[in-house]
């Protein structure tokens, strides 16, 4: 079950909302926990036991760490907890990757294991690990109520595809939450906006990549359309899920932190990674990069730290070499920028900085979305005109004409320009009055349009479900 589905929108969510708000405050966590476990069960019924076991393990580890805080025992326990969490993640996500590479290196014929990837395992494992580590650091108290910890790990708004919510962000709200009409209204608006980004922008853009893979008239323009289409799709797909998660969280009284901040307006790759998937970037910064020494060490060790973090970032996204190279490539670019390039970027016109950044991002997402490194290189050669193909083709021009309005709208919406226009208009009292009166109608109409698209289309993936 995904947020952008009729089942979720018109059956699951309304039932949960009604049950939640008619239930006394002291029982609402139980309603939300049952709803979250049912939500996960609907998407991954055979792994619900694994999910519950993971919750129990981390609850026990948290209590043990706090009991022995300040002793060597606590250190052994937290290391053990991290190893257990990583082992669970490794077995279910990376088994076949290791089998494939061991077989290749030693010329063995080891059969692949038939283990399906549990949805959201990368997200909820990292959330559990952040809780365990924060308890060890003394930054939060261990949660003595196992149901509250279970709710934190399983909370359905962010369970499947993030953002990665730190326990310290919501620990007080697990015990007591404040509700207001303003928060509820904000949550609804944010959810509908995210849903619109997903259904009206991300889904149609996602079709472009598929067209380019099976085109009968390949051209440079065809490959560029596919690459730009996917670059826009992955942003609107993932940021839409974050919008919907933040909106749903606010409806239920939780305040999740932002996960995207218009990354495509960045003027460097360093800035891009401060704006893209913020919760993952800060997780690796706080729990890996800084403990390794960060940049407050020798230059050689700093290079090592960057390499480790970006290797892990790439590997977190997927169990294949193209993800690893994607991550390490960004690490190399970031080092080069920080050492040699950043001052140059500050001196040249902003337009060239944007172009430089966007070109790297577009090519990087070709590697990210390809099934293999060789496929990615082949696609890039097509973009660069190295495949003995024409610059244009009738098919490419047809797709350009068909998608040009959508792509222009998507590019515009990937910047803060629409928000600034609305914000500026809100300062006009007459416009503000009209908008305030029409706002509920606008969102209802938008929801009706979205529903029509969902009923009419069978193409409704969530890209980050596979992570």
Read off the tokens for 133: 């580590």
pTM value?
0.92
Any alpha helices (H) in 285-349, and if so which ranges? 290-292, 299-317, 321-336, 342-347
What 8-state DSSP symbol labels residue 27? Answer: G
Residue 255 is a catalytic residue: no
CA distance 326 to 282: 19
Q: What is the pLDDT of residue 452?
A: 92
> How far does CA 412 lie from the centroid of its chain?
21
Mean pLDDT confidence for 374-388: 93
Q: For 60-77, how does the pLDDT look when each residue is reduced to its tens digit (9 = 90+)? A: 999 999 999 989 999 999
Contact 81, 66 (CB under 8 A): no
Read off the tokens for 289: 């990069």
CA distance 366 to 383: 10
Q: For 337-360, how does the pLDDT look when each residue is reduced to its tens digit (9 = 90+)? A: 988 888 888 889 999 999 999 999
Q: What is the pLDDT of residue 464?
A: 58
Q: For 1-23, how does the pLDDT look when each residue is reduced to its tens digit (9 = 90+)? A: 788 889 999 999 999 999 999 99
Where do the domains of the chain lie? 6-177, 183-466
Exposed e or buried b per residue across 234-251, where buried means at least 16 C-beta atoms within 10 angstroms of its C-beta: bbbbbbbbbbbbbbbbbb
Which of the following is catalytic: 255, 277, 317, 354?
317
Q: For 208-265, how does the pLDDT look when each residue is reduced to its tens digit (9 = 90+)? A: 888 888 888 889 999 999 999 999 999 999 999 999 999 999 999 999 999 999 999 9
The closest alpha carbon to 118, from 50, 42, 220, belongs to 50
Sign, CA dihedral 226-232-233-238, equals positive
């Amino acid at each position: 079950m995904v947020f952008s589905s009729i089942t979720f929108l018109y059956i699951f969510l309304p039932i949960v909302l009604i049950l939640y708000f008619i239930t006394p405050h002291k029982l609402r966590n139980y309603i939300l926990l049952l709803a979250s476990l049912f939500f996960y069960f609907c998407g991954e019924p055979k792994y619900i036991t694994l999910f519950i076991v993971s919750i129990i393990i981390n609850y026990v580890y948290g209590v043990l760490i706090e009991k022995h805080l300040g002793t060597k025992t606590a250190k052994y326990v937290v290391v053990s907890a991290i190893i257990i969490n990583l082992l669970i993640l490794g077995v279910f996500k990376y088994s076949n990757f290791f089998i494939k590479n061991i077989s290749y290196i030693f010329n063995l014929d080891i059969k692949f294991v038939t283990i399906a990837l549990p949805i959201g395992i990368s997200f909820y494992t990292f959330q559990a690990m952040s809780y365990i580590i924060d308890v060890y650091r003394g930054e939060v108290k261990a949660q003595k109520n196992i149901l509250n910890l279970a709710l934190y790990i399983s909370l359905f708004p962010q369970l499947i595809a993030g953002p990665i919510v730190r326990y310290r962000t919501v620990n007080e709200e697990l015990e007591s939450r404040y509700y207001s009409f303003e928060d509820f209204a904000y949550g609804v608006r944010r959810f509908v906006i995210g849903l619109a980004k997903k259904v009206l922008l991300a889904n149609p853009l996602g079709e472009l990549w598929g067209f380019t893979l099976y085109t009968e008239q390949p051209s440079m323009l065809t490959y560029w359309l596919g690459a730009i289409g996917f670059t826009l799709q992955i942003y609107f797909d993932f940021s839409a899920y974050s919008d919907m998660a933040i909106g749903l969280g606010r409806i239920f009284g939780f305040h999740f932190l932002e996960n995207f901040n218009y990354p495509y307006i960045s003027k460097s790759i360093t800035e891009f990674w401060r704006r893209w998937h913020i919760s993952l970037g800060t997780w690796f910064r706080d729990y890996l990069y800084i403990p390794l020494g960060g940049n407050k060490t020798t230059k050689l060790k700093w290079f090592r730290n960057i390499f480790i973090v970006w290797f892990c970032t790439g590997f977190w996204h997927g169990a294949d070499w193209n993800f690893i190279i994607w991550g390490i490539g960004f690490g190399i670019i970031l080092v080069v920028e920080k050492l040699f390039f950043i001052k140059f970027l500050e001196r040249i016109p902003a337009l060239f900085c944007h172009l430089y950044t966007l070109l790297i991002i577009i090519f990087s997402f070709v590697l990210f979305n390809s099934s293999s490194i060789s496929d990615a290189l082949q696609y890039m050669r097509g973009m660069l005109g190295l495949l003995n193909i024409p610059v244009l083709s009738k098919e490419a021009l047809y797709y350009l004409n068909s998608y040009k309005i959508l792509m222009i709208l998507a590019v515009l919406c990937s910047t803060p320009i629409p928000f600034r226009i609305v914000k500026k208009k809100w300062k006009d009292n007459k416009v503000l009055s009209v908008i305030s009166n029409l706002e509920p109608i606008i969102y209802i109409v938008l929801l009706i349009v979205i529903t029509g698209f969902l009923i009419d289309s069978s193409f409704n993936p969530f890209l980050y479900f596979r992570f």
